[in-house]
Amino acid sequence: MKAIQFSRYGGPDVVDIVEIDPPHPGPGEVQIRVRAAGVNPSDWKRREGQYRTFEEVTFPAGVGVEASGIVEEIGPGVSNTFVGDAVFGYGEATMAERAVLTHWVHKPDDLPFEIAGGLPVISETAWRSLDESGVKSGETLLVSGAAGGIGSAVLQLARIRGITVIGTASLQKHDYIRDLGAIPTTYGPGLADRVRQLAPDGVDAALDVAGSGIIPELIAMTGDPARVVSVADFSAEEYGAKFSRGPPKEPERVLADVARLYSKGLFRLRIEQSFPLERTAEALSISAAGRVTGKLIISP
């Protein structure tokens, strides 16, 4: 089968498409024929070696941690899933024609494979970071970097929880932010003044999705570092803020809930662009540029 791998840390040039034997599922796992795999910042950060201080990578390494597809092989101990089932979830080396999933749920018929393949990371990260921020119904949350995949999920899940959200994004993305139920503003100098105009009583919590070195400013706006969470800035804890990291917590419950929200029309995901497996390096470069609205998808 074809798969994406890298054999050393580096830029897009280290990404190769190779022919390898299909992986087989271990206990509690399934193997799927991949229909769609989501692109996440963790994919190119891992390839660049940004995680090497706390995560061991064995070369050659696969790329991708989420996918949707059709079950083709079942590992020992799996009793609730069968060959031929449509599923989506977390896995390993998912940018490939076949991949092993370690956590998954069944895909509803009205949830397209393309969207399902991009849901796991953003929905679980959004759910977890909202919980860790402690923000509650009736409070106001500031989201830095609101138009990407995780930001899009945060805006919608926060709206469902009764939270008012102010989201930063470039001006051309403000209609998108409004459409997801949030109040848009631009990022950059003067942010605190713009937020004060939008929320005269202040913001109760802040979530950093962009990782743009804004943690001290977010702490100043909330008045409490414990109410600031970053999913992208490794230095957050140096300032007393929280850095939210995996592994995912209760992924099956979260994915099942988000699938139900999608079926009810309460949650959606914009796919900005889909790429064939052969253009994975290009997709990772676009992700690294940080201007994606919604999600990028690899469709083997």
Distance CA 162, CA 28 (A): 37
Q: Is 29 helix (H, G, I), strand (E, B) or coil?
A: coil
Are 128 and 249 in contact by the 8 Å Cβ rule? The answer is yes
Residue 70 tokens, joined: 């059709």
Q: Is 90 a catalytic residue?
A: no
Instruction: Give CA–CA dist 253/251, Å, rounded.
Output: 5
Q: β-pairing, 205-208 with 228-230?
A: parallel
**How many Cα atoms sit within 13 Å of 107 on the Cβ side?**
26
From 9, 51, 187, 239, the catalytic residue: 51
Neighbours of 62 (CB within 10 A): 22
Q: What single letter denotes the amino acid at residue 146?
A: A
CA distances in angstroms from 214 to 56, 145, 166, 193, 232, listed in the order given: 28, 11, 15, 15, 11
Contact 43, 61 (CB under 8 A): no
Which positions are annotated as active-site residues?
Answer: 51
